Structure formats: structure tokens, C-alpha cells
């Protein structure tokens, strides 16, 4: 297609991974057509393969050689993090211009207002996939809002269930037992109802996505005896997914990078919808999650403490949660298109 079906391009842009055979094909086509090759580095393909086979496996070592040999030279390299740009510069001997292009959410991702949240949940709860969330009595949509007549405005009800959203591909690089253990700790804290801490709201947890380990974790969820936490799994459409994120009180990411150098797109999506995030700590996550828009955790106990802190502070007029909401809103002020154009201008 690149050689014969289209006019000779000025640039060929290829995303990595996948590296095999894409990088070789792109290099050959750029050489034949005289195009400038731009490699968009999102991660290293060999480290993803290494999750399953181990980094010392001969196939993984071969994949690393291939990726390094055919990814080393290009007109320009777009890196998803500053840490990846430095790694390519220092360890891979990259030739060509290095630019950092942090991911941003699409322009239509946004925070929903109270009326939109109410309308969304009244519709979603008719979906049989969300039957577990619908079991809240009264259901989450009715408790989520208080319809007030003051100035004709609709506002969120104090003490409503707290909606926590997490998205996953249900693969081995995300240990969802960390979240389930944190929810068990939340359950224990909610049951105690310590007077000096205040009552914790009911926690509604919706986990979205498809993947090989989903059935295993759903069985584990079913075995948990939780009264103050309701968990549902679902697959949402591309239209409903950003609406869900924009209606949530808090997002949680269990993503751990295979290379330690890429960032989870699910966190970008959450922040792009103005939703604060709790993210698993790994190298370079601070390029995305900061004290202004979220928190990072290393184990279930730390995550549980963060969820409880948000739950107790969520309805405060001025507090940590309001600050995190403001930080997430600042993140979404720059959308993917404008960020891409701004960075690519540097290639001129």
C-alpha cells in the first residue's frame, strides 16, 4: 500500500509497539519513497512480550534486537514520556529528533453536570450488565441526585453513594486483587462507623473492559461478602465510556508498565473527563498523576486509605477533593488535537 497504492508521502508515521514486522516495513518504505520516518514510541514491544515469556527468553532477546536495530534511526521520535526519551537517548543510541508527546484525552471528553449524571444512570441501570449496581436500595441513580427547587438547579445529594470506576484489559500486568483487597478494607471501615471519622458512604464500583482474566476475577468478586460495597463489571460502548468517566467520583488504575516508561491511557481518559485518580505507583507515573489531580499507591492498604479519605472529603465545599477536581479540570483544558499540533510544530 505504501509503495504502490498511494502517492509518495512526505512523512511516514508508525506507532511502536507493535515492532515486528512494522518497524522493518516502515524503514524499507521510507528508504524507497524518500519519506521522512517518524516513530511514535508508546512502549517497548519486547518488554510486553517479556511479561509472558520472561525478559531472558531467546525470543524476547531477539525481539529486543529487532526493535533496537530498526527503531534506532528515524527523522524524528515521538516519546510518550520524558523518561522514555531519556532512555532512548542514553541506552539505544537513537538518531533523529526526540520529542516528548504526552497523551491527552479527546476534546469531547468532559465532566458531566448533575442533570446529565442523573440522566445517564437512569439509562445505564436498564442494562442487565449493571444489575449488581442496580441492587443498591434505592438504586444509585435515585440516590445520586437531589432535585432542588432553589433557582431551579439540580445538585448532588450529600451522603449519596460514591461511584468509583476502573477500566482494565484484564491481563497479567494489572493485579486487580489489590483493588479487591482495598475494597475489603473499605468494607471493614464502613462497618465500624467510627464517630470521629464520620460515616463512609456506600461505595459503588464499576469495572469496565474485556480480557482473558475477567472470568477469574468475577468469580473472586462473587465470593466476597460485602454489604457497604457493590461491584459490577461491564463492557460499555465508545459513546458511554467517557460519559461514565465524567460521572464518577474517583478513578482507579492498576496499570503497571512493562518497561516502566509508558503511561496508562485509562488515566489520561479519567483526567480528561475531569475525574481525580488513584494510580498504582511505578517509574514516571508522576509525569501524569500529580498531587494536583490524584494520588499514587503501592499496596491495598494505601489505596484503601486514599479511597476512604476521598469518601469523607467528597462533599466538603473546600477540601482535598475539590482541589483534585480543579487539578483534573486543568489537565483536560488541553485536548489531544491541540497538544499534538503544538508538539508537531517543533518539527518544522
Domains of the chain: 11-101 (no CATH), 114-331 (3.40.50.2000)
- Give 75's Cβ-side CA count (13 Å radius): 18
Q: Look at residue 146 in the predicted model and tell me its pLDDT.
A: 45
Is the confidence at residue 336, as pLDDT, over 80?
yes
Indicate the pTM of the whole model: 0.88
Question: Phi and psi at residue 73, in whole multiples of 5°?
Answer: -115, 135
Q: 138 or 237: whose pLDDT is higher? A: 237
Going by DSSP bridges, is the β-strand pair 277-280/203-208 parallel, antiparallel, or unpaired? unpaired
pLDDT, tens only, 200-231: 999 999 999 888 888 888 888 888 888 899 88
Q: Look at residue 1 in the predicted model and tell me its pLDDT.
A: 86
Share of the chain above pLDDT 90, in %: 60
Share of the chain above pLDDT 70, in %: 91
Rama region for 283: left / alpha / beta (φ>0; ψ in -120 to 50; rest): beta
Per-residue pLDDT, averaged over 88-92, amounts to: 92
pLDDT band for position 273 (cuts 50, 70, 90): very high
CA 74 to chain centre: 29
- Give 157's Cβ-side CA count (13 Å radius): 17
Amino acid at each position: 500500500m505504501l509503495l504502490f497504492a498511494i502517492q509518495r508521502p512526505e512523512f511516514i508515521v508508525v506507532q511502536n509497539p507493535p515492532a515486528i514486522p512494522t518497524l522493518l516495513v516502515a524503514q524499507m518504505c521510507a528508504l524507497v519513497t524518500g519519506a521522512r520516518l517518524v516513530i511514535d514510541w508508546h512502549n517497548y514491544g519486547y518488554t510486553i512480550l517479556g511479561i509472558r515469556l520472561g525478559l531472558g527468553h531467546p525470543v524476547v532477546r531477539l525481539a529486543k534486537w529487532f526493535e533496537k536495530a530498526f527503531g534506532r534511526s528515524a527523522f524524528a521520535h515521538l516519546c510518550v514520556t520524558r523518561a522514555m526519551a531519556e532512555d532512548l537517548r542514553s541506552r539505544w543510541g537513537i538518531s533523529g529528533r526526540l520529542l516528548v508527546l504526552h497523551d491527552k484525552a479527546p476534546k469531547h471528553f468532559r465532566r458531566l453536570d448533575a442533570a446529565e449524571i442523573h440522566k445517564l444512570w437512569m439509562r445505564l441501570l436498564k442494562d442487565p450488565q449493571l444489575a449488581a449496581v442496580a441492587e443498591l436500595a434505592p438504586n444509585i441513580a435515585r440516590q445520586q441526585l437531589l432535585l432542588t427547587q432553589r433557582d431551579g438547579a439540580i445538585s448532588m445529594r450529600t451522603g449519596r453513594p460514591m461511584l468509583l470506576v476502573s477500566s482494565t484489559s484484564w491481563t497479567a500486568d494489572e493485579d486487580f486483587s489489590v483493588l479487591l483487597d482495598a475494597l475489603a478494607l473499605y468494607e471493614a471501615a464502613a462497618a465500624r462507623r467510627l464517630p470521629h471519622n464520620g460515616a463512609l458512604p456506600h461505595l459503588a464500583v464499576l469495572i469496565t473492559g474485556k480480557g482473558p482474566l475477567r472470568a477469574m476475577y468475577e468469580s473472586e468478586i462473587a465470593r466476597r461478602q460485602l454489604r457497604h460495597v457493590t461491584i459490577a463489571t461491564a463492557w460499555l460502548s465508545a459513546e458511554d465510556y467517557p460519559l461514565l468517566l465524567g460521572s464518577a467520583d474517583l478513578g482507579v488504575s492498576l496499570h503497571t508498565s512493562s518497561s516502566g516508561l509508558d503511561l496508562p491511557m485509562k488515566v489520561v481518559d479519567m483526567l480528561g473527563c475531569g475525574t481525580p485518580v488513584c494510580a498504582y505507583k511505578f517509574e514516571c507515573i508522576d509525569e501524569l498523576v500529580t498531587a494536583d489531580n490524584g494520588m499514587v499507591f503501592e499496596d491495598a492498604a494505601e489505596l484503601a486509605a486514599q479511597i476512604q479519605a476521598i469518601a469523607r472529603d467528597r462533599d466538603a465545599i473546600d477540601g482535598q477533593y475539590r482541589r483534585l477536581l480543579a487539578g483534573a479540570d486543568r489537565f483536560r483544558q488541553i485536548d489531544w488535537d491541540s497538544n499534538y499540533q503544538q508538539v508537531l510544530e517543533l518539527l518544522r
